[in-house]
Amino acid sequence: MKTLFIGTIAKQAGVPIKTIRYYEEVRLLPQPVRTSAGYRTYAFPIIDRLMFIKKAQTLGLTLKDIKTFLDLADRGHCPCGHVQHTLKQSLQGLRRKIADLKEIEKKLVGAMRQKCPPDFKPSGSAICPKIQRKPKQRRVMR
pLDDT in tens, the chain (142 residues): 678 899 999 999 999 999 999 999 999 999 888 888 888 898 888 999 999 999 999 999 999 999 999 999 999 999 999 999 999 999 999 999 999 999 999 988 988 887 777 787 777 777 777 777 665 555 666 6
Say if 131 falls within a structural domain.
no
Say if 119 falls within a structural domain.
no
Residue 93 sits in which domain range? Answer: 3-113
What distance in Å separates the CA atoms of residue 26 and residue 4, rounded to the nearest whole number? Answer: 21
Compute, in degrees rounded to 10, the torsion defined by CA atoms 46, 54, 62, 88.
-110
Say if 62 falls within a structural domain.
yes
What CATH number should be reported for the domain holding residue 18?
Answer: 1.10.1660.10
Domain total for the chain? 1
